[in-house]
Amino acid sequence: MAEPFAVTDAEFEEKVLNAEIPVLVDFWAEWCGPCKMIAPMVDELAEEFDGQMAFAKVDVDSNPITAVKYGIRSIPALLIFRDGQPIDQIIGAIPKGQLRKKLDSVLAS
């Protein structure tokens, strides 16, 4: 079963920037209601896209360096990385179908 994995500031380069496949990174915090709303959707999409795309979670309270580096000012924020670079982002909670379309387009490009 594919599940999003937690990433710290120290691990970000190794686990996200050096990944062989695209990685969706969910920037979140424990106190964030909308983050908790989208978490089950991110978990489901991690299962759906297993092997095609990895899914990571960065707790912005525990890992502020990475959040600041990528300009995260509002959460939830989903950034998609490919070949060490952010290639797309979604700020706020969006419907699962809309996020799936975005992921499909990333994989198709």
Q: Considering its fold, how many domains does the chain have in total?
A: 1
Write the CATH number for 46.
3.40.30.10
Structural domain harbouring 39: 5-108
- Please tell me which residue in 23, 24, 25, 35 is annotated as part of the active site: 35
Model pLDDT for residues 37-81, shown as the tens digit of each residue: 999 999 999 999 999 999 999 999 999 999 999 999 999 999 999
CA distances from 100 to 25, 47, 62, 81, 96 (A): 14, 12, 28, 16, 6
Three-class DSSP category at 8: coil
| Banded model confidence at residue 1, pLDDT cuts 50, 70, 90 | low
- Please tell me which residue in 32, 38, 75, 78 is annotated as part of the active site: 32
Q: What is the percent of the chain with per-residue pLDDT over 90, rounded to a whole number? A: 93
Of 61, 74, 51, 72, nearest to 6 by C-alpha is: 61
25 is catalytic: no
3 is catalytic: no
